[in-house]
Amino acid sequence: MNKDDLVAAVASSTGLSKADAGKAVNAVLDSIEGALQNGADVRLVGFGTFSVTDRRASTGRNPRTGEPIQIPASKQPKFKAGKGLKDAVN
């Protein structure tokens, strides 16, 4: 399922137009992104938790030349599925 499929599913299940459903989906995604940028976690009970983790700097290797390269520290988004989602999938 891609974003267009999600918008169509939201539109059909809520009775909204595709344009309004698209705005709603974009608003939810933008809100999650904004919260993560501010360092906050987003907990959706029964679905899961979005959070940000710090990744340390490390040394890797260039696969072509084998020479070592520095991989800088970064922040990575993370999602942990909740019990409701896990039960629905299984």
CATH code (residue 56): 4.10.520.10
Predicted pLDDT of residue 12: 95
Residue range 30-34: mean pLDDT, rounded: 96
Predicted pLDDT of residue 41: 96
Q: How far apart are CA 62 and CA 70, in angstroms?
A: 10
The domain of 25 spans 3-89
pLDDT in tens, 37-82: 999 999 999 999 999 999 999 999 999 999 999 999 999 999 999 9
Q: How many domains in the chain?
A: 1
Please enumerate in sequence order all residues whose Cβ is within 8 A of that of 48, keeping only pairs 6 or more positions apart, or say none: 79, 80, 81, 82, 85
Predicted pLDDT of residue 45: 94
Predicted pLDDT of residue 54: 95
pTM comes to 0.79
